[in-house]
Structure 1
Amino acid sequence: MKWSEQTWEKIDTTYKGILNMPFVQELANGTLPKNKFQFYMAQDSLYLEHFGRALALIGAKSHDIGDALTYIRFAEGAIVVENALHESYFQDFGVTDKGTIQPACHHYTHFLKSTAALDPVEVALAATLPCFWIYKKVGDHIYKEQQIANNPYQRWIDTYGGEEFSNSVQRAIMICDLAAERSTPGIRTRMTEAFIHASHLEYHFWDAAYTERTWN
């Protein structure tokens, strides 16, 4: 069994918890209150800026030039392409200011950037993988099983349930599996730990959007 398959099994409960949380359920059926989606979009836009920087660091540290180019492109997608998409969402949903980075987003992004900067590149790859993979699986789950007519959040669902994003996710998984295969048992253990920790932070990011958790 590949490293990614073994590691996903360890976070399957966390992933199912995300699927069952009110934010995702109400996003899927179109009943999510607008203010909660506004909070989410503002925090996600801030998240993408820092996520892109972490991806760029991974690109700079990658041993393989092909992987370096891939992660530089991922960074561009996070900072430019997806951020531009968020700007259009800001118009659609009346968000005028990203505001201040809040606890869940702060903890998640600082974990990713510190891991990318200070840990072996294999560990950094594993830490950033849940953002790709969990988002894709959540998008697919909603897209295939819970679509409704005239969902105000349909464009978000289409973005993460689309083929282009799927290709990026599969590429990231493949790179992580190769990195795990070529690394030591100790590094593989650290990769797994980073993946699990990032998955927990992913859960709290979604949960904080619904509760609109702030520093106060």
Structure 2
Amino acid sequence: MTWSEYAWVAIEPIYQSIIAMPFITELQDGTLPIEKFQFYMAQDSGYLEHFGRALALIGARAHDTDDVLAFLRFGEGAIVVEKALHESYFNDFGVAEHGMLEPACHHYVHYLKSTAALAPVEVAMAAVLPCFWIYKKVGDYIYAHQHAGDNPYQRWIDTYAGEDFAISVRQAIAICDRVAAATTDSVRERMTEAFITASRLEYRFWDSAYRLVRWQSVG
């Protein structure tokens, strides 16, 4: 069993919880309230900016030249997608700016950036993998189970169910399997822990969008 096969088994219950959550089921059938998708889009825009920086940092720390190039391209792709959000989805759904990072997004991006900077690079690679892999799996699931008819979120669904994204996902998985096979048992365990933690944060990201979770006012 490869590291990625083992890691996916570890997060299968999280994935099943994600595809059953109201945000996903309502997105799938096109009934998700617009204000929840607007919240999600704004937070996703902020997330992608920081995610791109984490990927670039991993690229700078990678040992293999091919991995350096791959993660720099991943980082570039995340920034390009973030810019596309402003030019398309933001206009389509009436979102002005991404604004401040709310709690779930703030927690997630700072976990990824601190891991990218301070953990062994293999662990950092595992920490960013759920954003590739879970998004692809969720996109494929929604695409396969969506109902017939006009869905206002169809373009978003098509983006994550598309082949261009699938190529990056397969490459990220292959890199993690290769570095996992070459490292120690201790680092592999930390890779799995990071993969599980980031998968939990994926769930929280969508859940917070559905519940419109913002910072509480104090003072």
Tell me which interval the TM-score lies in, with the shorter structure as reference length: over 0.9
Aligned with 1:97: secondary structure? coil
Partner residue, 2:197: 197
Q: Which runs of 5+ in 2 are unaligned?
A: none
Partner residue, 2:79: 79
- 1:54-93 equivalent positions in 2, closer than 5 A: 54-80=54-80, 82-87=81-86, 88-93=88-93
The residue identity in structure 2 corresponding to 1:85 is: A
Distance in 1 separating the partners of 2:197 and 2:26: 26
State the Cα distance separating 1:147 from its structure 2 match: 4.1
Stretch moving more, 146-155 or 62-71 = 146-155
Partner residue, 2:28: 28
Partner residue, 1:173: 173
Distance in 1 separating the partners of 2:17 and 2:49: 26
Q: Which runs of 5+ in 1 are unaligned?
A: none
Q: Is the CA contact (8 Å cut-off) linking 2:122 and 2:179 kept in structure 1?
A: yes
Partner residue, 2:111: 111
Superposed CA RMSD in Å reads 0.6
Partner residue, 1:144: 144
Distance in 2 separating the partners of 1:98 and 1:123: 29
Distance in 1 separating the partners of 2:194 and 2:97: 32
State the Cα distance separating 1:84 from its structure 2 match: 2.5
State the Cα distance separating 1:149 from its structure 2 match: 1.6
Partner residue, 1:135: 135
Work out whether 1:98 is the aligned partner of 2:98. Answer: yes
Partner residue, 2:207: 207
Distance in 1 separating the partners of 2:50 and 2:168: 18
Q: Is the CA contact (8 Å cut-off) linking 2:28 and 2:145 kept in structure 1?
A: no
Q: Is the CA contact (8 Å cut-off) linking 1:30 and 1:148 kept in structure 2?
A: no
Deviation string 1:32-62 (CA, Å, 9 cap, x unpaired) is 0000000000000000000000000000001
The residue identity in structure 1 corresponding to 2:159 is: T
Distance in 2 separating the partners of 1:2 and 1:41: 34
Work out whether 1:125 is the aligned partner of 2:125. Answer: yes
Deviation string 1:12-35 (CA, Å, 9 cap, x unpaired) is 000010000000000000000000
Distance in 2 separating the partners of 1:159 and 1:108: 22
Aligned length: 215
Distance in 1 separating the partners of 2:93 and 2:135: 21
Deviation string 1:124-161 (CA, Å, 9 cap, x unpaired) is 00000000000000000011122432100000000000
The two structures have a TM-score, normalised by structure 1, of: 0.98
State the Cα distance separating 1:85 from its structure 2 match: 2.4
The two structures have a TM-score, normalised by structure 2, of: 0.97
Distance in 2 separating the partners of 1:147 and 1:179: 40
